[in-house]
């Protein structure tokens, strides 16, 4: 994680504020039931800048602009999130950063509706703006500015012209939407494509890559044209889920529905069943083929093999996407939140490009089949054993989906030890099967025998390695994130982790209001962990980062901690609503540090690779709270 070094200005500089704010409404008079827009203008001295409402690079010590409008939101009905005028690019060569900032003038907008029961009056309100001002040499400490606002409410019935939600942005902004207002079409496409490529490296996706390669290399014909047809079918499956289904769901029912779909027990149960079918097919119990009526639709293709696996490729694309849902919601969630505000074109384009980038390695596989030519594509007994390997991996993934089903319903059947035991049995069974063929069948020559020896050894080592994870012992790897968390009251044990005695001092709230009450009582900031039962990245953070002794000490001693599940549990709906309305995201994991006065100090989405980086994030939030 990039760490920005904040230099504090002198007292005289702090007294001469480089930024001032004023707030106005867009209409001279209003009536009960009408809509209006609040416009906040920031006047910034030359040479100074402030940061975006929605920074695309989140730094632990660079404070994004925050608008706290609880008073307005309580008195009136919010209709949109906060919009902002166009940003400029700012280079920080010393830190190696390129940031998006406001310079000279910035404007922020939000639309509200006056409640019908309001009597005529001149209503006074206030908005608090948190910001950090920087120039080429220093950054002043983050601070807040209170801005007064007068809203005249007159007698009379609401007028038709004042019932329309105003979504235009004035001459300061040339963009399509508040989230991507500073991004050109080319920049936006590059952003979507790069995010799709990065998504291939997440823990959810990695196990699916060899399974998909298996489909194209072992089952697809050798002809390049045929392979390209299969790639198109595979990409159609990815695009179908990410672009069409996701955006339609968000427009009709809201962006949080995508998160619900990824964690839905039925979806996980069906996904697990789909992987079981793939696994048993590769084991040789049956062969996947398409119904004759569907095959007739592909009659213009020449070869029968092409027909048999086109729909299979589509289904594998769907499975590939479903398996990665909980890890890759950052961009998707942001786009779908925008889609719910009526900006449908950018999310649609973004998700199509994201989908194509996500499947790009397999496009190369279809265009350049010679990469896998030679011995690798020749038939033989080795091919059967490679299918067994892929089937074994698919079986392990199927158990993961069934575990998600168990977690979301909180059945406590597929516990950590039970899942580990199933994994060990699967690996041992594969070891025995491969060893039998190695010792008694004497298949192939030296090449085949060497491959069988490597496979048998891998199965055995895998089963031994997994067996070390029983009784909540850490596996010190990403595998911990694929396993169910320890039972309530139990904790993962490992070198450098907090002890059981230290862990029992934890007090994670499950309700935000209860945590807020405790924070006010003890005058401590709140650490909010937005998480999910089926979120693998969340499990990785909880099992590998939160358990580290220094992180645990910082969280336990200096924060009121609250864990909010957005995909299940008693407070699921409230937690989801809070995350979307307050933070404008559905990303998991998502972390927020909030003051005892319920003011957002800092936020961060995604995982931390090192415990020291996460500790720095916590300390930065604590320092801001003390100020």
Residue 184 has pLDDT above 60, yes or no: no
Contacts of 627 (CB under 8 A, 6+ apart): 141, 142
**Mean local confidence (pLDDT), 594-609:** 87
The total of other beta-carbon atoms located within 10 Å of residue 164's CB is: 10
How many Cα atoms sit within 13 Å of 580 on the Cβ side? Answer: 25
Per-residue pLDDT at 625:
59
Residue 501 has pLDDT above 90, yes or no: no
Residue reference for tokens 């990409």: 235
**Going by DSSP bridges, is the β-strand pair 143-154/30-31 parallel, antiparallel, or unpaired?**
parallel
Query: Which tokens hold the place of 21?
Result: 């704010």
**Mean local confidence (pLDDT), 344-368:** 71
Per-residue pLDDT at 132:
86
Degrees, nearest 5: CA angle 162-165-169: 115
Per-residue pLDDT at 450:
82
**Mean local confidence (pLDDT), 534-551:** 87
**Mean local confidence (pLDDT), 119-123:** 84
pLDDT tens digits along 508-534:
999 999 999 999 999 999 999 999 887
* pTM exceeding the 0.75 threshold for the entire prediction: no
User: Which range (192-201, 291-300, 554-563) has the least confidence?
Assistant: 291-300
pLDDT tens digits along 401-460:
899 888 888 888 999 999 999 999 999 999 999 898 888 876 666 777 788 888 899 999
Residue 564 has pLDDT above 90, yes or no: yes
Distance CA 565, CA 408 (A): 10
Query: Which tokens hold the place of 183?
Result: 């991004």
**What Å distances lie between residue 67 and 82, 426, 619, CA to CA?**
8, 53, 23
Distance CA 62, CA 55 (A): 10
Per-residue pLDDT at 548:
92
Residue 189 pLDDT class (50, 70, 90 cuts): low
Residue 177 has pLDDT above 50, yes or no: no
3-state secondary structure of 208: helix
**Mean local confidence (pLDDT), 375-402:** 73
**Mean local confidence (pLDDT), 327-342:** 49
3-state secondary structure of 76: coil
**What Å distances lie between residue 365 and 213, 218, 232, 554, 563, CA to CA?**
8, 12, 12, 47, 42
**Mean local confidence (pLDDT), 525-547:** 88
- Mean of the per-residue pLDDT values of the chain: 75
Q: 146 - beta bridge partners?
A: 128
Question: Does residue 227 or residue 485 have the better pLDDT?
Answer: 485
Per-residue pLDDT at 328:
61
Per-residue pLDDT at 382:
63
Q: Return the closest-CA partner of residue 310 out of 224, 231, 230, 228.
A: 230
Q: Is the peptide bond before 148 cis (omega within 30 degrees of 0)?
A: no
Distance CA 543, CA 546 (A): 6
Distance CA 114, CA 123 (A): 11
Q: Return the closest-CA partner of residue 585 out of 611, 604, 601, 600.
A: 604
Per-residue pLDDT at 116:
84
Residue 304 has pLDDT above 50, yes or no: no
């Amino acid at each position: 994680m990039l760490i920005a070094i904040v230099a504090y200005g002198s007292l005289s500089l702090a007294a001469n504020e480089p930024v001032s704010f004023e707030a106005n409404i867009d209409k001279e008079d209003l009536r009960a039931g009408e809509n209006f827009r609040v416009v906040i203008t920031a006047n910034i001295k030359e040479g100074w800048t402030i940061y975006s409402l929605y920074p695309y690079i989140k730094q632990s010590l660079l404070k994004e602009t925050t608008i706290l409008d609880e008073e307005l939101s309580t008195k009136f009905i919010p209709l949109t999130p906060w919009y902002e005028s166009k940003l400029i690019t700012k280079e920080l060569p010393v830190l190696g950063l390129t940031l998006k900032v406001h310079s000279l003038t910035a404007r922020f907008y939000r639309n509200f509706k006056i409640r019908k029961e309001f009597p005529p009056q001149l209503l006074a309100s206030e908005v608090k703006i948190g910001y950090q001002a920087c120039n080429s040499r220093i950054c002043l400490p983050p601070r807040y500015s209170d801005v007064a606002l007068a809203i005249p409410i007159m007698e009379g019935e609401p007028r038709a012209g004042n019932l329309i939600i105003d979504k235009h942005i004035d001459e300061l902004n040339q963009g399509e939407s508040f989230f991507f207002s500073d991004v050109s079409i080319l920049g936006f496409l590059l952003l979507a494509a790069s995010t799709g490529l990065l998504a291939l490296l997440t823990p959810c996706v990695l196990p699916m890559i060899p399974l998909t390669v298996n489909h194209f290399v072992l089952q697809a014909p050798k002809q390049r044209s045929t392979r390209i047809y299969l790639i198109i079918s595979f990409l159609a499956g990815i695009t179908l889920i990410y672009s069409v289904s996701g955006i339609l769901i968000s427009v009709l029912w809201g962006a949080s529905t995508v998160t619900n779909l990824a964690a839905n027990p039925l979806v996980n149960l069906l996904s697990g069943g789909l992987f079981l079918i793939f696994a048993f097919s590769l084991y040789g119990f049956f062969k996947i083929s398409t119904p004759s009526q569907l095959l007739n639709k592909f009659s213009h293709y020449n070869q029968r093999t092409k027909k048999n696996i086109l729909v299979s490729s589509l289904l594998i694309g769907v499975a590939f996407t479903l398996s990665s849902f909980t890890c890759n919601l950052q961009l998707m969630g942001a786009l779908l939140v925008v889609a719910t505000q009526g900006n449908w074109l950018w999310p649609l384009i973004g998700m199509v490009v994201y989908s194509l980038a996500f499947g790009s390695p397999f496009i190369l596989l279809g265009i350049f089949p010679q990469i896998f030519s030679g011995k690798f594509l020749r038939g033989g007994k080795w091919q059967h054993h490679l299918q067994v390997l892929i089937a074994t991996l698919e079986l392990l993934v199927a158990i993961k989906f069934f575990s998600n089903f168990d977690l979301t319903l909180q059945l406590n059947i597929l516990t950590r030890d039970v899942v580990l035991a199933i994994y060990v049995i699967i690996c041992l069974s594969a070891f025995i099967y491969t060893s039998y063929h190695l010792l008694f069948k004497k298949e192939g020559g030296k090449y085949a025998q060497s491959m069988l020896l490597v496979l048998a050894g891998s199965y055995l080592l895998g089963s031994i390695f997994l067996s070390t994870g029983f009784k909540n012992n850490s596996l010190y790897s990403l595998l911990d994130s694929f396993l169910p968390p320890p039972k309530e009251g139990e904790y993962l044990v490992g070198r450098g982790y907090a002890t059981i005695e230290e862990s029992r001092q934890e007090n994670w709230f499950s309700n935000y209001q209860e945590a807020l009450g405790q924070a006010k009582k003890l005058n401590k900031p709140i650490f909010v962990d937005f998480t999910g039962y089926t979120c693998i990245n969340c499990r990785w953070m909880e099992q590998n980062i939160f358990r580290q002794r220094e992180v645990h000490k910082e969280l336990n001693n200096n924060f009121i901690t609250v864990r909010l599940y957005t995909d299940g549990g008693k407070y699921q709906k409230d937690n989801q609503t809070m995350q979307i309305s307050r933070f404008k995201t559905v990303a998991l994991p998502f972390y927020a540090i909030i003051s005892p006065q319920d003011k957002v100090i800092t936020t961060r989405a995604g995982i931390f690779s090192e415990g020291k980086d996460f500790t720095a994030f916590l300390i930065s939030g604590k320092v801001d709270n003390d100020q």
